Amino acid sequence: GQQLNQSPQSMFIQEGEDVSMNCTSSSIFNTWLWYKQDPGEGPVLLIALYKAGELTSNGRLTAQFGITRKDSFLNISASIPSDVGIYFCAGQLQGAQKLVFGQGTRLTINP
């Protein structure tokens, strides 16, 4: 099946640092979504992107829909302890119906 390559798989950072993660594919996507999963909970939608080049913010989070439509990026500025969790990207392939998920980036923050 179609795979999204999400990287890095894990990050260990200090509180206050900025975070960057990305998802890439060899195929073209119509939609990119970014989710966060807290321990013991289901994933929650953070940001949705629908146009190539689109840049959208949600508080300290900023995500971009890559110009080639084959990638997306999520940045978190000035990380705080509650940012800990697993971040997933998801995309809807051009011409397809179901969503495809990346493998997740596990974020750990040292106070």
Partner 1 sequence: NAGVTQTPKFQVLKTGQSMTLQCTQDMNHNYMYWYRQDPGMGLKLIYYSVGAGITDKGEVPNGYNVSRSTTEDFPLRLELAAPSQTSVYFCASSTPTGRRTEAFFGQGTRLTVV
Give whichever of 48 and 77 is closer to partner 1, judged by the CB atom.
48
Report the nearest approach of partner 1 to the CB of residue 6 (Å): 8
Residue type, 47: I
Is 81 a binder of partner 1 (CB under 8 A)? no
Q: 78 phi and psi, to 5 degrees?
A: 45, 65
Q: 83 phi and psi, to 5 degrees?
A: -80, -10
- Rounded to whole angstroms, the Cα distance separating 59 from 79 reads 11
Is 27 a binder of partner 1 (CB under 8 A)? no
Paired residues of 49 in beta bridges: 32
Contact 29, 90 (CB under 8 A): no
Report the nearest approach of partner 1 to the CB of residue 16 (Å): 26
Span of 11-19, 55-63, 72-80, 84-92 interacting with partner 1 by CB under 8 A: 84-92
Query: Which residue ranges make up the site for partner 1 (CB under 8 A)?
Result: 1, 30-31, 33, 35, 40-45, 48, 50, 88, 90, 92, 97-99, 101-104, 106
